[in-house]
């Protein structure tokens, strides 16, 4: 029998408060709507609700990334509110704990393929190792799915995407793309590596057609894929609390993400060095939250540019909402994204955003000059000038921050998860 939605709601609130212990009043106001939604599901499709089994496929869960947090939010909703049987299958967990606390009853199953063990090896050894691990991966995942017999298998675009549609376990196969169509080309590599990127992008176009449903994050990205019969747009949902509200008065800029090429924090530091040339902004601070292989390089860059007193690399935190509330703007310097969770979450805390107009996401979220500022992709000088514009005008920051709050409606958890539920329902009833 479907468990009480209200009871699930309180359990879910307790879990959310492990990430942010402050009162979650915004979620409390959703209780009646969520309860009615669960009742409707119970009345209209009782058998399917009781038996719905979902398996998500992911590389790993020990990193504090956006994909991991998005998956946690979805899993928590399906488990705690609907009582569905949800499991996450990983390939590279390496025995590490999950960074974010997953709900009790959600199984984390690592099949120990360990693709990352080949990182740093020469190309020949890496290729041979990849082919061997892919064969191991296919065998292990096939055995698992035949044993579990889920209703839905949802791949977050890891290595199994090329073969998972051929596994005949009776489940419907869903592919989620958390980047964009051209993410392999964003590195601008040349030679054999560049050729490989182009060939794999073309291969992607064939792979996505094999799934029962292919889900992208933005309408911009959907347009890049053309007229696919199975494509849908479902954005990421924003999870925040009313207590996490910035008044945009603090002289602090925040940036959040992995310390790697994609996030482009070297470009942000370059822009920050331009900002700090002006004594008007001498008391402003830049705080970057993240971890990754670029940490040492970025810290050296900060030292070499004489920014040690105003720019800081900080460890990831489970309470990022409090950090948003202590800041006055978010800056994104990424080369590419799918739909940046950081951008959505910061705006739901009342932060205006300054961001490069990269693919994809900013165009779907930012109304330039209204709730944030868009600058041409890669133009570091323009990024610096946009930051200075907001830093010099508190009233403008507060005005844009108020407009940024309105993003909550578009990316509300209830609205986004309703679309996922309807998709799963439609697929399983075919």
**Cα-Cα-Cα-Cα dihedral sign, residues 399, 402, 404, 406:** negative
pTM: 0.74
Q: Where do you find CATH 3.40.50.2000 in the chain?
A: 5-237+412-428, 252-409
Q: What pLDDT does 36 receive?
A: 53
Residue 412: beta bridge partners?
Answer: 238
Q: What pLDDT does 51 receive?
A: 58
Q: What pLDDT does 127 receive?
A: 78
Residue 56: beta bridge partners?
Answer: 88, 154
Residue 103 neighbours by CB under 8 Å, 6+ apart? 11, 12, 15, 75, 76, 79, 80
CATH H superfamily, domain 252-409: Glycogen Phosphorylase B; (3.40.50.2000)
Q: What is the 3-state secondary structure (H, E, C) of the chain?
A: CCCCHHHHHHHHHHHHHHHCCCCCHHHHCCHHHHHHHHHHHHHHCHHHHHHCEEEEEECCCCCCCHHHHHHHHHHHHHHHCCCCEEEEEECCCCCCCCCCCCCCCCEEEECCCCHHHHCCCCHHHHHHHHHHHHHHHHHHHHHHHHHHCCCEEEECCCHHHHCHHHCCCCCEEEEECCCCCCHHHCCCCCHHHHHHHHHHHHHHHHHHHHCCEEEECCHHHHHHHCCCCCEEECCCCECCCCCCCCCCCCCEEEEECCCCCCCCHHHHHHHHHHHCCCHHHCCCEEEEECCCCCHHHHHHHHHHCCCCCCEEEECCCCCHHHHHHCCCEEEECCCECCCCHHHHHHHHCCCCEEEECCECCHHHHCCECCCEEEECCCCHHHHHHHHHHHHCCHHHHHHHHHHHCCHHHHCEHHHHHHHHHHHHHHHHCC
pLDDT tens by residue, the chain, 430 residues: 334 333 333 333 433 333 343 344 444 444 455 445 544 444 444 444 455 999 999 999 998 888 898 999 999 999 999 999 999 999 999 999 999 899 999 999 999 999 988 776 777 787 788 889 999 999 999 999 999 999 999 999 767 888 999 999 999 999 999 887 777 766 667 777 777 777 877 888 899 999 999 999 988 889 889 889 999 999 988 876 665 799 999 999 999 999 999 999 999 999 999 999 999 999 999 999 999 999 999 999 999 999 999 999 999 998 899 999 999 999 999 998 878 889 999 999 999 999 999 888 888 899 999 999 999 999 999 999 999 999 999 999 999 999 999 998 888 899 999 999 999 999 998 7
Angstrom distance (rounded) from CA 350 to CA 402: 6
- Give the C-alpha distances (Å, rounded to integers) separating 372 from 18, 102, 357, 366, 396: 31, 33, 12, 6, 10
Q: What pLDDT does 368 receive?
A: 96
Give CATH for domain 5-237+412-428.
Answer: 3.40.50.2000
Counting every residue written for the chain, the total comes to 430
Tokens (6 digits) for 416: 């986004």
């Amino acid at each position: 029998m479907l468990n009480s939605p209200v009871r699930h709601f309180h359990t879910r609130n307790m879990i959310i408060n492990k990430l942010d212990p402050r009162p979650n009043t915004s979620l409390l106001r959703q209780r009646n709507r969520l309860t009615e939604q669960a009742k409707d599901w119970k009345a209209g499709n009782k058998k399917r609700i009781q038996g719905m089994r979902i398996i998500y496929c992911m590389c790993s869960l020990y990193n504090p990334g956006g994909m991991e947090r998005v998956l946690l939010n979805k899993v928590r909703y399906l488990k705690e509110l609907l009582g569905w049987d949800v499991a996450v299958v990983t390939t590279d967990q390496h025995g590490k704990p999950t960074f974010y606390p997953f709900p009790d009853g959600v199984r984390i199953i690592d099949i120990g393929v360990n693709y990352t063990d080949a990182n740093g090896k020469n190309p020949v050894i890496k290729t041979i190792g990849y082919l061997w691990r892919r064969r191991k991966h296919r065998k292990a995942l096939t055995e698992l799915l035949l044993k579990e017999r889920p209703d839905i298998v949802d791949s977050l675009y890891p290595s199994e995407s090329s073969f998972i549609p051929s596994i005949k376990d009776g489940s419907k196969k869903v592919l989620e793309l958390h980047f964009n169509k051209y993410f392999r080309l964003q590195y601008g590599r040349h030679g054999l590596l560049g050729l490989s990127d182009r060939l794999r992008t073309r291969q992607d176009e064939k792979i996505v057609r094999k799934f029962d449903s292919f889900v992208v994050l933005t309408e911009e990205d959907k347009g890049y894929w053309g007229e696919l019969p199975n494509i849908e747009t479902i954005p990421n949902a924003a999870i925040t609390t009313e207590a996490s509200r910035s008044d945009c008065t603090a002289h602090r800029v925040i940036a959040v993400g992995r310390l790697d090429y994609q996030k482009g924090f070297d470009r942000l530091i370059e822009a920050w060095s331009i900002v700090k040339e002006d004594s008007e902004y001498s008391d402003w601070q830049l705080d970057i939250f993240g971890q990754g292989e670029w940490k040492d390089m970025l810290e050296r860059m900060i030292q070499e540019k004489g920014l040690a007193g105003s720019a800081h690399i900080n460890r990831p935190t489970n309470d990022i909402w409090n950090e948003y509330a202590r800041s006055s703007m978010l800056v994104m310097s990424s080369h590419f994204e799918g739909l940046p969770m950081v951008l959505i979450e910061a705006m739901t805390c009342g932060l205006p955003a300054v961001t490069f107009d990269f693919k994809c996401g900013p165009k779907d979220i930012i109304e330039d000059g209204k709730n944030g500022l868009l600058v041409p992709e890669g133009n570091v000088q323009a990024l610096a000038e946009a930051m200075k514009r907001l830093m010099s005008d508190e009233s403008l920051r507060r005005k844009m921050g108020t407009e940024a709050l309105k993003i909550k409606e578009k990316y509300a958890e209830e609205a986004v998860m309703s679309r996922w539920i309807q998709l799963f329902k439609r697929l399983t009833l075919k």
